[in-house]
């Protein structure tokens, strides 16, 4: 066996460089990459596509293919250099010591082999266990990844499982041999958000249970925040910044990291007041990298003659926990400076109703055999009772997971399908019945679409210019060829692309540029309605912001009505005026963006909001994980479509949910909800997303006053749950400069939330107990024996962040435990330290970082004393 004992880090990558050798010569994919993964630690690798993050993973697996070669540096796994191992040794390690989970679950499973056999192979090959033992182990593992009916699962083929279940099986397979290191390469990208939330939860839990180290590769900063302890940001083959989650998220020291955070829609961003700031320019191709800093040409702080003069090395940032940045100027740049506000715009006033859909239905007939007719036909109810009204210049977002019917709705509006029942009117004219081939030119022109996949949206064998001119020809714009040519060039200007692009073929364009052409094409005929089907979801983060801004800019100027289809609630919140949430063909909730994003929610909206990862350490989310998968639209559940996964179902008396489809109900807050829950129960709902810094969370803050009295009744009933917490302390950043009024407002809002304890207090705790609602378990009191003494919030709380190892997030958690002063920490005994350590799942980090000694120094003489004892300034 290849297992050996080693005390040091699980994985040490030192100055790794990997190149691919092709016909064009050497292409460096990874350069000077270093990282260390300690036992039990989860390391996140973040970057855009093509930045080399997957190459690092393949390098660790020593699976670079025929073209790839390690050209410098070393990869040490448990102290042994992987590149010196023989093929036999490597084969022994792969799958037993290092396991990898890939993006596409179906591609990782052998479709011709039963799940059980595939799982049993792992211990049988690596440990030579007997068949019976292996089967038992497989049963255990399948159970631990929380799949129902393990015996049946083991006896089925991969295609009989859903995507989420398949990914759980892949995770189970990786865990069969209890690996020391688990590499996850975008494990949830192919899954729906609510399913993703379940998988992320599982990965975290298993990591803690088995103490496995993880290398988590993702393009999604929010996901990394939820799963990892440390992260490494990569750009164009290099690591540009690495450090603990708290350090990198809150005190980023590289312009690229900063740019990334500014270009993702975090709660609080607003399309008019605080628009996103995109990173200018494009990602350099591997053979076109600039000299010096790779990010230089796109960087705001670029200094010619300095940044492009030499190769730039990683530089450690003093005082932080292994925090380093690949930037020459990180000490000079004022990182706290307010973002240079991008152009602010006035909110547009919506005008007349342009699109009016009432009671629209779309059913598909699916027959068993198309060849000879016969066989029974089954009906897929893709849309059921859809009512939407959209006004001029308004953005209406359609939100839901795959299979919810949002794309079908779009197809009906565009005439690619015809409706079954109801009405769909545009400017008073019925359009739901008319197919594209029968529509007149004016109707065609006035409703257009922006498609999702940039690689699919343009005809690959026609020049870009020709394709736009064809649209103009079709819509009869411009009298002559030269006029149309001129108009085409103007359209290129409109989407901010150089005019030369008209002569290019689509394959010469990047994804973002193709999407811009798609937008130009959609707006060529000056349409009244544009349906945008996930227009940016396939683009890289840094490009997303630019394309989103462009789309909204054109829409704003042309006063176009936009139907924005998306599964990404962050972006929906950012840009839409109205939100429509769909589930299994039904609209389950709709209303103004503000009212939909604040309670009362439909239970599905609540789950959806909770599932979306948010890349902000100051955000705390309520933890709702849905069980199971979306039911099939061919065989929908009776009654309420959401009843099979609803967490609130038991609050509805009788079996009403299973019998009747609920009616749409107007709420006082302005949204309409399709749910049987009583008003009093809906009123109990708490906001899912809570931001704890001074910037008032716009949508959540407004309705707070209205709801506070309704919720106030609850604490009494639930106050026995969980550890008692001081009022509103959970999430407040004592050290932050918060104006009194906002603070008061937030306290009022959060006060009732606090006593629910573990379920809302911190994500760390919530993750531990998936059934967080039943937090009041008998053993809490036993655990609490060692709990450090707590205090009410003093008027002058200490800035706990001065302790190295405590970030704003942890400070919030500590405050939640009633700890505000250095003195308190300095008095912790071993038992108490262990209690807090266990509570935070730190695996001894408190002792390692020696919080008590730091706190003692700080309590005694503040920063000066600290400097005397430790020889450096506190943070």
Partner 1 sequence: MEPLSSGAIAITIIQLFWPTWLSLVIVFAVSIYFKDVLGLYGKLFNSWVGMIGLGLVLFWVFTALWADYIATFDPIEQISGMKNKKPGTPARGVEDAWYLLGGDNLARDVFSRMVYGSQEVLKIAPAATLFAFMVGITLGLPAGYYTGRLDTFLSFLANLVLAFPVILLFYLLVTKEIVQTGIPMYLAAVLFLFPIIFLLTLFKTKFIANQRTLVITWALTLVLGLWAYSGLAFNADPLGVWTMDPNLLNIFVSVVFVNSPTVFRIVRGLTLDIKTRDYVAAAQTRGEGAWYIMLWEILPNARGPLIVDFCLRIGYTTILLGTLGFFGLGVSPESPDWGSTINDGRKLLSIYPHPALPPAFALMSLVLGLNLLADGLREQSLKD
Residues at the contact surface with partner 1, assessed by CB under 8 A: 23, 370-371, 414-416, 436-437, 439, 441, 444, 447-449, 451-453, 456-462, 470-471, 473-475, 481, 507, 518, 521, 525
Tell me how far CA of residue 39 lies from CA of 14, 176, 181, 329, 764, in angstroms: 17, 19, 9, 33, 19
Closest approach of partner 1 to the CB of residue 441, in Å: 7
Closer by beta carbon to partner 1, 95 or else 527: 527
Q: Which is nearer to partner 1, 393 or 413 (CB)?
A: 413
Which residues lie closer than 8 Å to 630 by C-beta, 6 or more apart? 192, 401, 402, 403, 404, 583, 584, 645
How distant, in Å, are the alpha carbons of 207, 250, 724, 840 from that of 765?
A: 15, 21, 14, 7
Q: Which is nearer to partner 1, 504 or 787 (CB)?
A: 504
Least distance from partner 1 to the Cβ atom of residue 24, Å: 11
Length reported for the chain: 875
**Residue 430 CB, nearest approach to partner 1 (Å):** 17
What are the DSSP E strand ranges found in 202-352?
213-218, 230-235, 238-244, 315-316, 324-325
Helix%, strand%, coil% for the chain, nearest 5:
40, 20, 45
Which positions ≥6 away from 278 have C-beta within 8 Å?
Answer: 263, 542, 543, 544, 545, 546, 549
User: Going by DSSP bridges, is the β-strand pair 529-533/324-325 parallel, antiparallel, or unpaired?
Assistant: unpaired
User: 324-325 and 395-399 as β-strands: parallel, antiparallel, unpaired?
Assistant: unpaired
Helix (H, G, I), strand (E, B) or coil at 94: strand
Return the number of the residue (20 or 261) whose C-beta is nearest partner 1.
20
Phi, psi for 670 (deg, rounded to 5): 110, -10
Contact 104, 111 (CB under 8 A): no
Q: How far is the CB of 855 from partner 1 (least distance, A)?
A: 59
Nearer to partner 1, 110 or 441 (CB): 441
The residue (of 547 and 612) whose beta carbon lies closer to partner 1 is: 547
Rounded Cα distance between 301 and 311, Å, is 17
Nearer to partner 1, 512 or 723 (CB): 512
Residue tagged 């609920």 (tokens): 662
Q: How far is the CB of 503 from partner 1 (least distance, A)?
A: 14
- Whole-angstrom Cα distance, residue 109 to residue 151? 18
Least distance to partner 1, CB of residue 375, Å: 14
CB of 361 to partner 1, least distance (A): 22
Gap between the Cα atoms of 686 and 597, Å rounded: 11
In three-state secondary structure terms, 294 is: coil
Question: In this structure, how many other beta carbons lie within 10 angstroms of the beta carbon of residue 225?
Answer: 23
Cβ distance to partner 1 smaller for residue 450 or 810: 450
Q: Min. distance of Cβ 452 from partner 1 in angstroms? A: 7
Which of 510/826 has CB closer to partner 1?
510
Beta strands in 94-186 (DSSP E): 98-101, 181-185
* Residue found under tokens 């990334």: 260
In the complex with partner 1, which residue's Cβ is closer, 77 or 451?
451
Rounded to 5 degrees, what angle do the CA atoms 507, 513, 519 make?
115
**Smallest distance from partner 1 to CB 354, Å:** 17
Distance separating alpha carbons of residues 315 and 597, to the nearest angstrom: 42
- Least distance between partner 1 and beta carbon 421 (Å): 23
Least distance to partner 1 from the beta carbon of 525, Å?
8
**What DSSP state is assigned to residue 101?**
E
The gap from C-alpha 846 to its chain's centroid, in whole angstroms, comes to 29
Any idea of the CA torsion for 704, 709, 710, 714, to the nearest 10 degrees?
A: 110
Q: Which is nearer to partner 1, 481 or 864 (CB)?
A: 481
Of 739, 679, 731, whose CA–CA distance to 707 is shortest? Answer: 679
Nearer to partner 1, 452 or 745 (CB): 452
Minimum distance, C-beta of residue 459 to partner 1, in the bound complex (Å): 5
Asked if 220 and 191 touch (Cβ cutoff 8 Å), the reply is no
Q: Among candidates 756, 755, 759, 757, which has minimal Cα distance to 772? A: 759
User: Which residue's CB is nearer to partner 1, number 95 or number 525?
Assistant: 525
C-beta closer to partner 1: residue 411 or 750: 411
Name the minimum Å distance from CB 429 to partner 1.
16
Least Å from the CB of residue 399 to partner 1: 21
Is 111 or 460 the residue whose CB approaches partner 1 more closely? 460
Least Å from the CB of residue 443 to partner 1: 9
Residue 706: Cβ-neighbour burial (10 angstroms; 0-12, 13-18, 19+): exposed
Least Å from the CB of residue 377 to partner 1: 15
- Of 347 and 416, nearer to partner 1 (C-beta) is 416
Nearer to partner 1, 453 or 742 (CB): 453
3-state class (DSSP) for residue 868: helix
Q: How far is the CB of 586 from partner 1 (least distance, A)?
A: 25
67-90 burial, b for 16+ CB within 10 Å, e for fewer?
Answer: ebebeebebbbbeeebeebeeeeb
Q: Give the shortest CB-360-to-partner 1 separation in angstroms.
A: 18
Rounded CA separation 405/403 (Å): 5
Spatial distance between the Cα atoms of 138 and 124, rounded to a whole number of angstroms: 11
CB 585 within 8 A of CB 409: no
DSSP sequence for 743-765: HHHHHHHHGGGGGGTHHHH-HHH
Distance of CA 657 to the CA centre of its chain: 31
Question: Which residue's CB is nearer to partner 1, number 272 or number 508?
Answer: 508
């Amino acid at each position: 066996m290849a297992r050996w004992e080693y005390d040091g880090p699980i994985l040490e990558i030192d100055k790794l460089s990997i190149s691919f050798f092709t016909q064009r010569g050497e292409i460096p994919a990874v350069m000077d990459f270093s990282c260390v993964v300690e036992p039990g630690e989860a390391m996140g690798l973040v970057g855009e596509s093509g930045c080399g993050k997957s190459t690092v993973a393949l390098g660790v697996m020593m699976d670079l293919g025929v073209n790839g070669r390690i050209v410098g540096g070393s990869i040490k796994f448990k102290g042994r250099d992987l590149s010196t191992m023989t093929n036999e040794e490597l084969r022994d390690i792969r799958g037993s010591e290092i396991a990898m989970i890939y993006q596409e679950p179906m591609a990782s499973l052998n479709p011709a082999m039963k799940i059980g056999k595939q799982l049993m192979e792992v211990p049988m090959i690596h440990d030579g266990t007997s068949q019976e033992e292996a089967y038992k182990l497989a049963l255990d593992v399948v159970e631990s990844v929380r799949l129902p009916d393990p015996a049946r699962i083991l006896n089925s083929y991969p295609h009989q499982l859903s995507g989420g279940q398949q990914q759980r099986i892949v995770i189970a397979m990786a865990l069969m041999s209890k690996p020391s290191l688990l590499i996850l390469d975008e494990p949830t990208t192919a899954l729906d958000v609510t399913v993703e939330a379940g998988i992320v939860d599982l990965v975290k839990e298993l990591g803690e249970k088995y103490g496995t180290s993880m290398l988590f590769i993702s393009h999604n900063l929010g996901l990394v925040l939820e799963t990892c302890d440390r992260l490494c940001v990569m750009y164009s083959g290099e690591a540009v910044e690495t450090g603990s989650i708290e350090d990198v998220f809150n005190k980023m020291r590289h312009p690229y990291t900063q740019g990334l955070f500014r270009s993702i829609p975090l709660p609080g961003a607003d399309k008019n007041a605080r628009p996103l700031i995109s990173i200018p320019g494009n990602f350099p191709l591997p053979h076109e990298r600039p000299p010096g800093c790779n990010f230089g040409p796109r960087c705001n702080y670029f200094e010619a003659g300095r940044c492009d003069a030499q190769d730039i090395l990683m530089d450690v940032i003093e005082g932080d926990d292994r925090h380093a940045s690949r930037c020459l100027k990180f000490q000079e740049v004022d990182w706290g400076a307010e973002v240079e506000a991008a152009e602010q715009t006035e909110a547009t006033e919506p005008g007349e109703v342009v699109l009016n859909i009432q009671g629209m239905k779309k059913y598909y007939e699916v027959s068993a055999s198309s060849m000879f007719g016969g066989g029974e036909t089954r009906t897929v109810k893709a849309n059921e009772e859809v009512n939407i009204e959209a006004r001029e210049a308004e953005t209406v977002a359609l939100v839901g997971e795959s299979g919810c019917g949002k794309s079908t709705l779009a197809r009906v509006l565009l005439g690619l399908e015809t409706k079954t029942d109801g009405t769909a009117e545009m400017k008073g004219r019925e359009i739901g019945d008319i197919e594209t081939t029968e529509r007149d030119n004016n109707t065609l022109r006035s409703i257009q679409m922006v498609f999702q996949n940039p690689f699919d949206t343009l005809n690959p064998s026609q020049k870009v210019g020709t394709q736009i001119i064809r649209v103009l020809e079709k819509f009869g714009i411009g009298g002559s060829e030269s006029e149309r040519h001129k108009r085409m060039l103007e359209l290129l200007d409109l989407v901010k692309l150089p005019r030369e692009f008209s002569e290019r073929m689509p394959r010469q364009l990047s994804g973002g540029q193709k999407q811009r052409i798609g937008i130009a094409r959609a707006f060529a005929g000056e349409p009244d309605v544009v349906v945008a089907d996930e227009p940016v979801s396939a683009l890289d983060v840094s490009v997303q912001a630019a394309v989103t801004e462009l789309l909204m800019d054109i829409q704003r100027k042309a006063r176009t009505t936009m139907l924005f289809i998306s599964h990404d609630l962050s972006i929906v919140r950012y840009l839409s005026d109205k939100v429509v949430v769909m589930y299994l063909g039904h609209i389950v909730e709709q209303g103004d963006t503000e009212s939909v994003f604040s309670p009362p929610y439909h239970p599905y909206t609540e789950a959806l909001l909770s599932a979306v990862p948010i890349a902000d350490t100051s955000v705390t989310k309520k933890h709702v994980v849905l069980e199971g998968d979306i039911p099939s639209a061919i065989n929908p559940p009776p009654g309420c479509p959401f009843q099979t996964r609803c967490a609130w179902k038991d609050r509805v008396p009788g079996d009403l949910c299973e019998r009747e489809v609920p009616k749409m109900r107007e709420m006082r807050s302005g949204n309409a909800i399709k749910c049987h829950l009583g008003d009093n129960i809906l009123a109990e709902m708490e906001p899912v997303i809570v931001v704890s810094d001074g910037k008032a969370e716009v949508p959540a803050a407004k309705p707070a006053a209205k709801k506070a009295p309704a919720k106030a009744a609850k604490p009494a009933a639930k106050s026995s749950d969980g550890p008692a917490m001081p009022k509103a302390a959970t999430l407040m950043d004592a050290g932050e400069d918060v104006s009194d009024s906002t603070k008061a407002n937030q306290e009022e809002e959060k006060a009732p939330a606090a006593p629910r304890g573990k379920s809302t207090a911190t994500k760390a705790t919530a993750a531990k107990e998936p059934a967080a609602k039943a937090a009041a378990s008998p053993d809490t009191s036993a655990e609490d024996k060692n709990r450090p003494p707590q205090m009410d919030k003093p008027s002058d709380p200490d800035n706990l962040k001065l302790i190295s190892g405590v970030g704003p997030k942890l400070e919030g958690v500590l405050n939640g435990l009633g700890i505000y002063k250095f003195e308190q920490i300095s008095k912790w005994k071993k038992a108490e330290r262990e209690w807090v350590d266990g509570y935070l799942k730190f695996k001894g980090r408190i002792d390692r970082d020696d919080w008590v000694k730091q706190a003692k120094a700080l309590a005694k003489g503040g920063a000066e004393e600290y400097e005397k004892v430790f020889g450096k300034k506190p943070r």
